[in-house]
Structure 1
Amino acid sequence: MTNPSPYPIGTPGVAWGDAERAEWRSRQTRKRSYAADVLSVIDQLRSRYDVVEYGQLEYPPDTYPLLAIKSNGWNDALPTALVTGGVHGYETSGVHGALQFVEQHAADYAGRINLLVAPCISPWAYERIHRWNANAIDPNRSFRDDSPAQESAALMRLLAPVRDRVLVHVDLHETTDTDESEFRPALAARDGKPDEPGEIPDGFYLVDDAANPQPEFQQAIIAAVAKVTHIAPADANGQIIGSPVVAPGVIEYALKQLGLCAGITDARYKTTTEVYPDSPRATPAQCNAAQVAAVRAAIDYALAHQ
């Protein structure tokens, strides 16, 4: 067995400094447009929903407005559903699934629950199809006080007034082949640690909150998504991405402790979706539809079990 080639930036076993981060950043190129793909869609929704700018990302020479979509006629007497996408900018269906949910289904919940949707939390990374922000920081490990990530800090400020009133939070993600081919090796190189290959699951799965598991909630989502795309099986060790499978298609993480987006509120019902867009059994349209099905099932379950 041959050893994998070392990551092209840095020295194996030595964590990156400013020079290595700058070299990494210089290699990232814009591949798609946040303005064309996301902002233009949100603009078309302004006649039906409130749109708030909750911050701006500053990565000179680039500036990105951070936008969230809110129910028109917000009612503080109602519970709140939070939907987040694009925490990792390369996870395309999270962004477009969130927007598709608003376009096609948000009106169904008018007068029943407040909706707050942040569809693209990391627009710099969205444009470059990357996991990290421009400082080689993973926003989805940065939802904590004094966050080093602009993206995470901005969302936390937006949610501060309502975080204890959120009933359900669905954080939309993907697990892709590039997790193994690019992002895991880059992480090991950045942190000066050994590169330890893993296995990409083929199919959709969920991450529950280990501190407050809600198995029936998670299974309601799995059942809805199974009508759209296939559910990831456990590997030979009974795991998905190194974590024990606690129910079909479900693993658990310590969401708050790990600084993950799904742990940002005190919601009773929380989940992180993981779609597998590289599967030969799934199309981009199916991936978007799976995200939409997950959001709808999550909100429906939460409303029925308040």
Structure 2
Amino acid sequence: MNLSFRTEARHGYAVEYSPFFPQRLATATSQHFGIAGCGTLIVLDITPKGLVLARALDWNDGLFDVTWSENNENILVTGSGDGSIQVWDIAQPKPAPIQVYKEHSKEVYSVDWSVTRNTNLLLSGSWDGQIKLWDIHQPKSLNTFQGHEHLVYSAIWSPHITGCFASASGDRTLRVWDVKKPYMAQVTIPAHDSEILTCDWSKYDQHLMITGAVDCSIRGWDLRQPKQHVFELKGHQYAVRRAKCSPFVASQIASCSYDFTVRLWDFKQPHPIETIEHHTEFICGLDWNLHIPGQIADCSWDEQVRVYSPQSIANTRT
């Protein structure tokens, strides 16, 4: 499979598969590379005829991240350049958010929906250096987590431990938090010598996390022994924009970069097992299909969303 969809004057920042439907994905996009203009949430269906537009929903500023609800197949959340968070119901005919939160003072670069016990909880990470915790049934945030000394690029829930999340920042640290203790991170790791743009949890080991940074490397961390990374993967030529652990194979990682490539890794090996070059601009969004082993989606500033199954990992499982 190798499908593509043109986002037409919208530059891709994030893509995420639906947790309910293997054939549906959402993309957060921005005009003018996110520097100015509006943004569009694009929902696509994978069909025998290719990628087909299901909904296109506009916001008055660029959209930088998207996450699906874990308890309603029609609800999505986006983070915007104006510091706001939008809650969308794609089953509603009205092309407007059903809720908008505005507490961050700068760009919201990361949103993530809780996958553990309380599936009404949402995280937002912002360039104002703060992370906020939300319940989408409440009118304002439940708490604000402060400690990072620079932009927050990523805030992501643990898939294993209820109430636990991690964040990656321009202050070069990876931090792990408990929602009950917003005043201080439980673990702080000086993970790279450059800004950290992405982090993710292993889906098979609650103690293992990965980070990707401007220094072009991906590193693995055992949170029980955080003084030294347990592996390092080098191959990208420019900053690693996103890195995500496979939901099917414990040692597999996919990463995308400002070097226009997606790379597939087995962290037991030092070099990429496959390099994919099908974009002509920065690749900012990347996700694994949770239902179909070996299928990946990505999006780029070249106005293309792509869905494909890399040869090196197709139909593999733990």
TM-score by length of 2: 0.29
More strand by share: 2
Which is richer in helix? 1
Relative contact order (C-alpha < 8 Å, sep 6+): which is higher? 1
Structure 1 length as normaliser, TM-score? 0.30
